Amino acid sequence: MPTKEKTSADIKIDEIDQTILMLLSDNGKLSNKEVADKVGLTVTPTYERIRRLERSGVIKGYRAVLDSKLMGKDLHVHCHITLKNHEKESILDFEEKIVQLDEVVGCYNIAGDYDYTLHVEISDMDAYHEFIRKTLTSIKNIGNVRSAFVMKTMKRK
């Protein structure tokens, strides 16, 4: 029997859970004791709440936020993609290939003028030019590519 996907109606999140989620989204390295101190609970119930949020899928994982500039990725691009056709196989092929590209740090299927927006982090304009010419053009079914270059980042989570 197929498992039913959880929805927000299936998961009860109270104010304390909301605070825990905010704290961990700002700093995933906080210890259970540090979180407990900030929400006014002892360690055990705080730990149990965090585990419940993880098991329910509200917390999907933890990661390090990297400084892309220090890694030599000075150019951030929002690359808008329009597909030539929207047959299921073509869409799945595009999605399978695009998520494998190291330069693509985010891929979003969107509604509107474009089908997808990619967030690309790359060293410079020459490298982006090569990425477009050699990598993106090797993916079949891309009809149009429009690029918007990030000039300054004010907020990033």
Q: How confident is the model at residue 2 (pLDDT cuts 50, 70, 90)?
A: low
DSSP string, 46-96: HHHHHHHHHHTTSS----PPP-TTTTT--EEEEEEEEES---HHHHHHHHH
4, part of any domain: no
- For the segment 64-122, what is each residue's pLDDT rounded down to a tens digit? 888 888 999 999 999 999 999 999 999 999 999 999 999 999 999 999 999 999 999 99
State residue 155's pLDDT score: 87
The encoded tokens of residue 93 equal 């092929």
Answer yes or no: is 2 within a domain.
no
Residues 6+ apart with CB under 8 A from 26: none
What is the per-residue pLDDT for 112? 94
Strand partners, 108: 117
Cα separation values, 98 from 1, 58, 61, 150, Å: 32, 26, 22, 20
Domain range for 124: 75-149
Shared domain for 83 and 127, answered yes or no, is yes
Residues 84 and 143 placed together within one structural domain of the fold: yes
- 131 and 84 in a single domain? The answer is yes
- Residue 61 domain-assigned? no
Do residues 144 and 79 share a domain? Answer: yes
